[in-house]
Structure 1
């Protein structure tokens, strides 16, 4: 079995184009087309539907796609393990993370990691809760830094607790309080993120049996913060997300207190990840302790 053929097919499906797949893998378009045709000959059925607008997987191709992705991942893990035995830190880490983690952790973390492990590449994918869940399920990422996903499907290693905060305009009457009761969100005009963006926010309201008085529902964190600053309502976000905005708006803990736990989310046990991933995770843990 040729790993290159599998990579060619996976890239073609990912980009929906043989030309873009060729660019991503640094091959010519005819070479990618030949590899996929060869794979179809090996299997005895078509894997791609080809049209003027691009390519899409056949039903058989879609069924085999996650298995192919798993084979490619395991082959890469094998290569990294061989390098590790020779004392070489070489490999690739495909990491998914929330926007807050990408903004506030990754620039410093990746800079320090690259200085110590220059031959390990980090491919960072920024996404919301649903996107991270799908990437893990489909094998597009090795692991994620996120809050806990569906516990029956994934493994979760806690890293830090991130306190959930009520955010208000600076001149809001509640801004002089020490805390904001969760029940306030049923009365005040609220700017609430969509559930696929912030499941933790929706989880808090459901647990407290509070139905927020939704004035606006927004997907982006920065848009929510900007609207709060302009006095359009109050909202609920994590402390990590609002760190850069402490001077521009009031931010108070909830009553009762709520936190979200950020951690490593994996589809398999951490010991089954690639050597490169198992190098990165302890580095991340030590970085957070510092």
Structure 2
């Protein structure tokens, strides 16, 4: 690859850019080399050559690892964009030749990774054994940012009002009230929100809390929040001990919970899970196949 600037040649290669991005992601020359199947000296040479072509330093090595420079940050989005378009070009060329090869990078949060991904990956590998799938786990905002940065082709996220990516709804994940089996509300078929608000409450953290807080606010209720906890198993243990009741999405709950009753409340409340991309029309052939298979599988669950 040869880019012209000011009448002089700026010689860069795809592998040099791949090395740069991998170092940024792993924060390590050694790990980047392992992931790319290169020696550490080859990795160092690639970065040195790229920096020479750019005319400034991209990576600083210190005791904590490899750190991207300010100038490197400015170049990162451009380089990721070049690599994404290069992958698109490769896959389109293979598609023209009738081959089903390529790579798709998918981001997912924990409950989707546990409940949906095994079936999706299993089916996808059966149908497209020559397409590599790279999975990256993160929270919803991380996944949206990775999509915008070009690190991911597709990502599973929740539908929100503040999305700047394209979104395809897949499934409504209903919220369930968690109560001990001997709790007074266990006798109610579908407890009211007012009843829930009158007992000590354990608020789920990050991701689930938005819908729960909105539900109470819509009824002008102020729940008795005793704790705000992120880990699902910790919430379940505290509910079982009688410390408080909670509300969690059904997809996050284990299949069996001893001494705990999970029931829906009288007002239907749910979060919508879907799959997102910067632009569905610009998906690579491999990502397009993953997208279509996911819609077919999850839509039938």
Would you call these one fold, judging by a TM-score over 0.5?
A: yes
Match of 1:280 in 2: 290
Deviation of 1:184 after TM superposition, in Å, equals 3.5
Contact 1:130–1:197, Cα closer than 8 Å, also in 2 = no
Contact 1:157–1:265, Cα closer than 8 Å, also in 2 = yes
Match of 2:215 in 1: 204
Q: Distance in 1 between matches of 2:82 and 2:210?
A: 32
Q: Which one of 81, 93, 105 corresponds to residue 82 of structure 1? A: 93
Contact 2:105–2:134, Cα closer than 8 Å, also in 1 = yes
Match of 1:70 in 2: 81
Question: In structure 1, the residue corresponding to 2:38 is in which secondary structure?
Answer: coil
- 2:272 is equivalent to residue 261 of structure 1: yes
Match of 1:14 in 2: 25
Question: In structure 2, the residue corresponding to 1:140 is in which secondary structure?
Answer: coil
- 2:264 is equivalent to residue 229 of structure 1: no
Contact 2:200–2:245, Cα closer than 8 Å, also in 1 = yes
User: Number of residue pairs matched?
Assistant: 289
Q: 44-53 or 113-122: which moved more?
A: 44-53
Deviation of 1:264 after TM superposition, in Å, equals 1.1
Aligned counterparts, 1:1-290, within 5 A: 1=1, 2-149=13-160, 151-195=162-206, 198-242=209-253, 244-245=255-256, 248-266=259-277, 268-290=278-300
Contact 1:192–1:217, Cα closer than 8 Å, also in 2 = yes
RMSD, aligned α-carbons? 2.0
Structure 1 stretches of at least 4 aligned residues deviating more than 6 Å after TM superposition: none
Q: Distance in 1 between matches of 2:208 and 2:225?
A: 16
Deviation of 1:193 after TM superposition, in Å, equals 1.9
Distance 1:25 1:188, change over 3 A: same
Q: Distance in 2 between matches of 1:101 and 1:188?
A: 30
Question: In structure 1, the residue corresponding to 2:223 is in which secondary structure?
Answer: coil
Q: Tell which structure's C-alpha radius of gyration is larger.
A: 2
Q: Distance in 1 between matches of 2:121 and 2:253?
A: 21
Distance 1:204 1:141, change over 3 A: farther
Contact 1:191–1:233, Cα closer than 8 Å, also in 2 = yes
Deviation of 1:15 after TM superposition, in Å, equals 1.6
Question: In structure 1, the residue corresponding to 2:264 is in which secondary structure?
Answer: strand
Contact 1:94–1:123, Cα closer than 8 Å, also in 2 = yes
